[in-house]
Structure 1
Amino acid sequence: MTSPTIADLTTLHLGGPARTIVEASSTAALVEALTACDDAGTRVLVIGGGSNLVVADEGFDGTVVRITSAELAFGVDDGRPFVTADAGVEWDGLVAHTVANGFGGLECLSGIPGSTGATPVQNVGAYGVEIADTLRSVQVYDRPGGRLSWVAPDALGLRYRHSNLKHRDDRIVTRVSFWLRNGAVSAPLAYRELARALGRDEGQTAEAEHVRSAVLALRRSKGMVLDADDPDTFSAGSFFTNPIISAAESAAVIAQIAVVVGPDVTIPQFPSGADLKLSAGWLIEQAGFTRGYPGAGAPVRLSTKHTLALTNRGTGTTADLLALAREVRDGVEARFGVRLIPEPVFVNCRL
């Protein structure tokens, strides 16, 4: 048992102390730690890679259980390859391992910080691919029942950046299994920027290794690959999700935005089923929040590379982060009537 601050365990490098921090290096150790806490009536905060957490400066008055389990294995099911990994496996390491072993399927999700166990919880996605597209099954520990069981994807309520595992701590992901593609070939490219970087058309495939390299380059250009020497990467990734506007409201919302930006400005918009998805980053910029806002010297700023990331410049506090997040959220809503929804999980704090 150790007692560093939670800031040492998050990519934002923010968060106060915990009463106790326990490392769980296997599924059995994780179950044991959770059982001990539950039997003692101790509050528990489970952390993997800490890439999607905003923790209060006051910290967490309980036990932090940090998942560091690291086993993974390939298999074949009815002729289809898959990989199964412990929740504590570093996500980008898993992606790299699948590509190096001649498989495609996960390459568009390269460079995303955090652990494997977190990926189905919020249905992680990037460059036209979501976890829901590749997920085979999830092993979950049911704390009230004290049971481990495998759950099929269709039981998880997966949708844009959400599952029914999110914002709850009674069901903890312990292992995850993903379908892969043979021949080191990517899935059909579904993201224009990525296809252009590869010299391909949307819908075409490419070598998984080349797709991974292109994704990493694109993410680095936006400060979205962890780098200890780059404060732009001291973030929780995209802080706000792209807003989904219902079909019934979309025409009125687009018309309101057009009044503000002018009729000649193209408003980025994408279909999301019958609804409409807008670009949170574009709305933030059009509301007057530029890269690096509020400027040099501020302890917490928008990334200098990507307005969707709120970054700790090394001396910030969670209170500073929340103040900036509120300013951005409220500024976008005041200008366009669209309320941005934060993506991270908040611990002992809120917007």
Structure 2
Amino acid sequence: MNPGFRQRRDAGLRSRNTFGIGARAPLLLEIDDPAALPLALALPEVSAGPVLVLGGGSNLLFAADPAGTVLALRNQRIALHSEQGDSVVVRADAGLDWHACVQWTLAQGLCGLENLSLIPGTVGAAPIQNIGAYGVEVRDRIHAVEAWDRETAMPVRLNPDDCAFAYRDSRFKREPDRWIVLAVEFALSRTPSLHLDYAGIAAELESMGIDTPGAKQVSEAVTRIRRRKLPDPAAIGNAGSFFKNPVVPATHADALLGDHPGLPVFPVAPFPADAALHDASGVTGLRKLSAAWLIDACGWKGHRDGDAGVSADHALVLVNHGSASGRQLLDLARRIAASVEARFGVALEPEPRIIGADW
């Protein structure tokens, strides 16, 4: 045993991915102390091949066994990093459960992460995917990301601009073989600035009998909505929303609305890198469509092929009813996307990272 990390060979990964796919890793490294990461990465069998960093396994699909080492960060510390007036920076280790992180900040009286409650996964995965829900994206709350750069074999601290965030995307996701996220710093506030205008939140708060909510009440409302809408991975294998909501030119969205008035269409606010694309209203010439509506309109909601299926409660969620393989789920996802493109001329992209196959 090496100090700071543990090794397991031919390690089963079924319990480490929320789809419940029975993949196996040639070598699994569990890193208890990030200071041991350079030593672990320098092992000959690790340095010579690919490394897959695995958090909660809630945003990937094993279409095949991983080819090289699987690395899991187990560090789970969280603390107030700095404070100036009502502005507070919280630092959380990559291995910490995301919802536990959100709940810890709320217990400290901090506002900013409440709309992101109950998203499965770990803190380290949050900036990789640029997770978002109910009108908030994590990039809006990130102060800095601490990561290990495999190209330089050095730790780095990246500010939000360095992370190149985009919709469900980031520099880390586009360069997965280079970066290992070690910790994330969040810029939060003791003064509530609540986002309540996303569909469903105000109605849920009203049903809870809350007229003047705080951050904790918003978190509870979001949690209640998510539990109703999305299947629990502990009960049935899934990775949450499988497809991104597609972004199309406004002209395409308008044409689709003419034929399908019920199609939900949302404005797209620009990222800093896209500032030249927006008009005086602060909105780009792009629109975001509801992938769930498109998939449901094509008749896929509740569909099942053997143990690979689509949730009967939410058309965006692919489910493993028991023993579906990753390949079977991927084949189903491809057929869903092909049908949406054939009917609406809209290309769907998967949210999860696909291991062992191309989309």
Answer whether TM exceeds 0.5 for this pair: yes
Matches of 2:45 and 2:94 in 1, distance apart? 20
CA distance in 1, matches of 2:63, 2:199: 38
Distance, in Å, in 1 between the alignment partners of 2:239 and 2:201 is: 22
| TM-aligned CA deviation for residue 303 of structure 1 | 1.2
Q: TM-score, normalised by structure 2?
A: 0.87
Aligned equivalent of 1:289, options 297, 300, 311: 300
Change in Cα spacing, 1:31 to 1:45, as seen in structure 2 (3 Å) is same
CA deviations 1:170-210 (Å, max 9, x no partner) are: 12111100011215x3533231311221139xxx9731111
Please list the CA deviations of residues 68-123 of structure 1 after superposition, one character each: whole Å capped at 9, or x if unmatched. 11111113343311210111111011011111222121111110010101111121
CA separation in 1, counterparts of 2:212 and 2:167? 24
Structure 2: gaps of 5 or more residues: 1-6, 270-283
Offset of residue 39 of structure 1: 6.8
Residue matched to 1:148: 155
1:96 has 2:103 as partner: yes
Change (3 A) 1:16 1:174: same
CA distance in 2, matches of 1:341, 1:69: 32
Tell me the equivalent position of 1:301.
309
SS in 2 for 1:191: coil
2:183 to 171, 175, 189: 175
In structure 2, the residue matched to 1:62 is 68
* C-alpha displacement of 1:294: 2.7
8 A contact 1:253–1:337 mirrored in 2: no
Judging changes above 3 Å, is the alpha-carbon distance between structure 1 residues 117 and 343 closer, same or farther for their aligned structure 2 residues? Answer: same
- Contact preservation (8 Å) 1:186, 1:211: no
Alignment check: 8 A CA contact 1:24 1:65 kept:
yes
How far apart are 1:257 and its partner, in Å? 6.0
Q: Given the alignment, which residue of 345, 351, 358 partners 1:350?
A: 358
* C-alpha separation in 2, matches of 1:55 and 1:345: 9
| Structure 1: unaligned runs, 5 residues or longer | none
CA distance in 1, matches of 2:22, 2:248: 33
1:308 is displaced (CA, Å) by 0.3
State the one-letter code of the partner of 1:75.
Answer: H
Percentage of pairs with the same residue = 38
Question: For residues 44 and 244 of structure 2, what CA distance do their matches in structure 1 show?
Answer: 33
Q: CA deviation at 1:253?
A: 4.7
Equivalent in the alignment of 2:266: 270
Pick from 330, 336, 339 the counterpart of residue 331 of structure 1: 339
**CA distance 1:189–1:211, shift in 2 (3 Å):** same
1:127 aligned partner, one-letter code:
Y
What amino acid does structure 2 have at the position aligned with 1:50? G
Q: Report the 3-state secondary structure (helix = DSSP H, G, I; strand = E; otherwise coil) of the residue aligned with 2:300.
A: coil
Per-residue CA deviation, residues 118-175 of structure 1 (Å, 9 max, x unaligned), is 1111210001110011111000111121111111001111121111111322121111
Instruction: Tell me the distance in 2 between the aligned counterparts of 1:188 and 1:222.
Output: 20
Distance 2:252 2:138 in 1: 32
Amino acid at match of 1:299: D
Q: Tell me the distance in 1 between the aligned counterparts of 2:19 and 2:27.
A: 20
Structure 2 equivalent of residue 164 of structure 1:
171
SS of residue paired to 1:28: helix
1:207-286 mapped onto 2 (5 Å cutoff): 207-223=214-230, 226-228=232-234, 230-231=235-236, 234-246=237-249, 250-256=250-256, 258-259=258-259, 261=260, 265-273=261-269, 274=284, 275-286=286-297
Alignment correspondent of 1:20: 27
Partner of 1:71: 77
Q: CA offset at residue 26 of structure 1? A: 2.3
Over 3 Å counting, the alpha-carbon distance change for 1:239 and 1:227 in structure 2 is closer
Matching residue of 2:205: 198
Q: In 1, distance between residues paired with 2:109 and 2:70?
A: 37
8 Å CA contact retained: 1:33, 1:65: no
Contact kept, 8 Å, 1:70 with 1:87, in 2: the verdict is: yes
> Whole-Å Cα distance in 2 between the matches of residues 37 and 279 of structure 1?
46
Give, in whole Å, the separation in 2 of the partners of 1:192 and 1:93: 25
- Give the conservation status (yes or no) of the 8 Å contact 2:310–2:318: yes
* CA 34–69 in structure 1, closer or farther in 2 if over 3 Å, else same: same
Q: How many residues align?
A: 332
State the 4+ residue runs in structure 1 displaced beyond 6 angstroms: none
Does the CA contact (< 8 Å) of 1:89 and 1:115 recur in 2? yes
Q: Is the 8 A contact 2:253 2:287 kept in 1?
A: no
Distance 1:198 1:256, change over 3 A: closer
Deviations 1:12-49 (A, max 9, x none): 11152111111011211333322335874132111111
Q: RMSD over aligned Cα, in angstroms?
A: 2.0
Aligned residue number for residue 113 of structure 2: 106
Provide the TM-score with structure 1 as the length reference: 0.89
Match status 1:42 vs 2:49: yes
